[in-house]
Amino acid sequence: MEVRTKSFQLVEPGSEESRFVVDPSGFLFVELARSDREFSAPFSQLDFEQDLAGHTRVRCVTADPKLNWQLTMQDEDAGYLLSLIGNVEEQLESLLQPA
């Protein structure tokens, strides 16, 4: 399995291009280029919520509010990101299946 990397333009005010890394270990890593900020979350803690303006909020929801984060993307980009995550999850499942 390989790490999947894709850059997306965020929707937030002062938005910047961000690098999303879908890791086969079951984690999403996000690097905000201009601000040198990074976010990460296991797939199980991610939530995707669409609004009526054609945007999707990608959120990490944990028991510790200090670790929560959210970013807003175009729906099309969020759909592509979800498909990358889905592909990695399918590959993980197939590896864990008994032979």
Please give the full DSSP string across 29-92, using - where no structure is assigned: EEEETTTTEEEEEEGGGEEEEE-TTSEEEEEE--SSGGG-EEEEEEHHHHHHHHHHHHHHHHHH
Sketch the domain layout of the chain as residue ranges: 4-88
β-bridge mates for residue 50, sequence order: 56
**CATH among 2.30.29.30, 3.30.360.10, 3.20.20.100, 1.20.1090.10 for 4-88:** 2.30.29.30
pLDDT of residue 99: 64
Q: What is the Cα gyration radius of the chain?
A: 14
Distance CA 89, CA 7 (A): 20
3-state secondary structure 39-51: EEEEHHHEEEEEC
pLDDT at 16 over 90: no
Kindly give the pairing relationship between strand 55-60 and strand 69-74. Answer: antiparallel
Give the model confidence (pLDDT) of 21-74 as tens digits.
Answer: 999 999 999 998 778 889 999 999 999 999 989 999 999 999 999 999 999 999
